[in-house]
Amino acid sequence: HPGKAEAAMRIGIPGKACGDCTLCCQILDIPELNKPPGPYCQHCKPSGGCGIYKKRPDVCRDYECDWLRDRDLGPLLKPSRTGVILMEEADTERFLAVCHPDRPMDWLKNKQVFAHLVLVAKSGREVVAKAGTKAWRVYESGKWAPTE
Protein backbone atom coordinates (compact mmCIF):
# COMPACT_ATOMS: atom_id res chain seq x y z
CA HIS A 1 0.00 0.00 0.00
CA PRO A 2 1.37 3.44 -0.85
CA GLY A 3 2.29 5.75 2.01
CA LYS A 4 0.77 9.15 2.66
CA ALA A 5 3.68 10.92 0.97
CA GLU A 6 3.30 8.87 -2.21
CA ALA A 7 -0.45 9.47 -2.25
CA ALA A 8 0.09 13.22 -1.76
CA MET A 9 2.49 13.26 -4.74
CA ARG A 10 -0.06 11.62 -6.99
CA ILE A 11 -2.91 13.83 -5.82
CA GLY A 12 -0.80 16.98 -5.72
CA ILE A 13 -0.38 19.51 -2.95
CA PRO A 14 -3.09 22.19 -2.92
CA GLY A 15 -1.74 25.50 -4.22
CA LYS A 16 1.19 23.90 -6.00
CA ALA A 17 1.25 23.37 -9.74
CA CYS A 18 3.78 23.82 -12.52
CA GLY A 19 1.64 26.53 -14.13
CA ASP A 20 3.90 28.47 -16.49
CA CYS A 21 7.10 27.01 -14.96
CA THR A 22 8.97 24.97 -17.56
CA LEU A 23 12.47 25.10 -16.07
CA CYS A 24 12.76 21.29 -15.99
CA CYS A 25 12.05 21.28 -19.74
CA GLN A 26 14.99 23.62 -20.21
CA ILE A 27 17.82 22.87 -17.83
CA LEU A 28 17.54 19.11 -17.30
CA ASP A 29 19.18 16.54 -19.54
CA ILE A 30 16.52 14.30 -21.14
CA PRO A 31 18.37 11.52 -23.01
CA GLU A 32 15.10 9.90 -24.15
CA LEU A 33 14.41 13.05 -26.21
CA ASN A 34 18.08 13.73 -27.12
CA LYS A 35 17.82 16.96 -25.14
CA PRO A 36 20.97 18.35 -23.48
CA PRO A 37 20.88 20.71 -20.47
CA GLY A 38 20.31 24.34 -21.53
CA PRO A 39 18.00 24.59 -24.53
CA TYR A 40 14.28 24.11 -24.14
CA CYS A 41 12.84 20.74 -25.09
CA GLN A 42 11.38 20.90 -28.59
CA HIS A 43 7.99 19.87 -27.16
CA CYS A 44 7.83 22.58 -24.47
CA LYS A 45 5.08 25.15 -24.98
CA PRO A 46 6.06 28.79 -24.28
CA SER A 47 3.04 29.31 -22.01
CA GLY A 48 3.79 26.11 -20.09
CA GLY A 49 3.00 22.49 -20.68
CA CYS A 50 4.09 19.82 -23.10
CA GLY A 51 3.16 19.38 -26.74
CA ILE A 52 3.39 15.59 -26.36
CA TYR A 53 1.96 15.42 -22.83
CA LYS A 54 -0.08 12.23 -23.38
CA LYS A 55 2.86 10.51 -25.13
CA ARG A 56 5.74 12.02 -23.12
CA PRO A 57 8.50 9.63 -22.00
CA ASP A 58 8.35 7.99 -18.58
CA VAL A 59 11.28 10.09 -17.37
CA CYS A 60 9.10 13.20 -17.85
CA ARG A 61 5.91 11.51 -16.65
CA ASP A 62 7.57 10.39 -13.39
CA TYR A 63 9.46 13.63 -12.67
CA GLU A 64 8.46 16.13 -9.99
CA CYS A 65 10.81 18.74 -8.59
CA ASP A 66 11.03 19.08 -4.81
CA TRP A 67 9.09 22.35 -4.93
CA LEU A 68 6.06 20.39 -6.15
CA ARG A 69 6.63 17.51 -3.71
CA ASP A 70 7.48 19.37 -0.50
CA ARG A 71 4.67 21.19 1.29
CA ASP A 72 7.24 23.23 3.26
CA LEU A 73 8.86 24.85 0.21
CA GLY A 74 7.05 28.14 -0.30
CA PRO A 75 6.51 30.32 -3.37
CA LEU A 76 9.92 32.01 -3.03
CA LEU A 77 11.55 28.68 -3.94
CA LYS A 78 9.49 27.91 -7.06
CA PRO A 79 11.96 27.13 -9.87
CA SER A 80 10.51 29.70 -12.27
CA ARG A 81 11.21 32.34 -9.61
CA THR A 82 14.70 31.20 -8.55
CA GLY A 83 16.15 29.74 -11.73
CA VAL A 84 17.06 26.68 -9.64
CA ILE A 85 15.45 23.24 -9.60
CA LEU A 86 15.66 21.53 -6.22
CA MET A 87 15.49 17.76 -6.63
CA GLU A 88 16.51 14.31 -5.46
CA GLU A 89 19.10 12.69 -7.68
CA ALA A 90 17.80 9.43 -9.10
CA ASP A 91 19.52 6.31 -7.76
CA THR A 92 21.62 8.17 -5.17
CA GLU A 93 21.12 9.89 -1.82
CA ARG A 94 22.32 13.25 -3.18
CA PHE A 95 20.16 16.35 -3.06
CA LEU A 96 20.64 18.60 -6.10
CA ALA A 97 20.19 22.24 -6.97
CA VAL A 98 20.27 22.37 -10.78
CA CYS A 99 20.83 25.65 -12.64
CA HIS A 100 20.98 26.71 -16.28
CA PRO A 101 24.49 26.30 -17.74
CA ASP A 102 24.49 30.02 -18.64
CA ARG A 103 23.61 31.00 -15.03
CA PRO A 104 25.62 28.49 -13.00
CA MET A 105 25.69 30.43 -9.73
CA ASP A 106 21.95 31.10 -9.32
CA TRP A 107 21.95 28.61 -6.41
CA LEU A 108 24.40 30.85 -4.53
CA LYS A 109 22.98 34.23 -5.57
CA ASN A 110 19.51 33.45 -4.19
CA LYS A 111 19.69 33.65 -0.37
CA GLN A 112 16.60 31.48 0.17
CA VAL A 113 17.93 28.73 -2.10
CA PHE A 114 21.36 28.75 -0.48
CA ALA A 115 19.85 28.72 3.03
CA HIS A 116 17.73 25.71 2.05
CA LEU A 117 20.77 23.87 0.65
CA VAL A 118 22.71 24.44 3.88
CA LEU A 119 19.70 23.22 5.89
CA VAL A 120 19.54 20.03 3.81
CA ALA A 121 23.31 19.55 4.28
CA LYS A 122 22.87 19.95 8.05
CA SER A 123 20.40 17.05 7.97
CA GLY A 124 23.31 14.84 6.87
CA ARG A 125 22.57 14.73 3.14
CA GLU A 126 25.17 15.25 0.42
CA VAL A 127 24.16 18.47 -1.37
CA VAL A 128 25.44 19.33 -4.83
CA ALA A 129 24.69 22.38 -6.98
CA LYS A 130 25.00 21.66 -10.70
CA ALA A 131 25.00 23.63 -13.95
CA GLY A 132 25.83 21.73 -17.11
CA THR A 133 29.15 19.99 -16.46
CA LYS A 134 30.05 22.15 -13.44
CA ALA A 135 29.25 21.09 -9.86
CA TRP A 136 29.80 22.39 -6.32
CA ARG A 137 29.40 20.59 -2.99
CA VAL A 138 27.52 22.58 -0.33
CA TYR A 139 28.53 21.82 3.26
CA GLU A 140 26.59 22.17 6.51
CA SER A 141 28.97 24.97 7.57
CA GLY A 142 27.74 27.07 4.64
CA LYS A 143 31.03 26.63 2.80
CA TRP A 144 31.07 25.27 -0.74
CA ALA A 145 33.69 23.96 -3.13
CA PRO A 146 33.93 22.56 -6.67
CA THR A 147 33.23 18.81 -6.93
CA GLU A 148 32.43 16.21 -9.55
Tell me the pLDDT of the chain (148 aa) as tens digits: 334 444 344 456 788 899 889 999 999 999 999 999 999 999 999 888 899 999 999 999 999 999 999 999 999 999 999 999 999 998 898 999 999 999 999 999 999 999 999 999 999 999 999 999 999 999 999 999 999 8
> Quick check: 67 and 49 in contact, CB under 8 A?
no
Alpha helices in 49-131 (DSSP H): 58-61, 66-69, 79-82, 106-109, 111-122
Opening angle at CA 129, ends 125 and 135, nearest 5 = 115
CA dist 125 and 29 (Å) reads 23
CA dist 86 and 94 (Å) reads 11
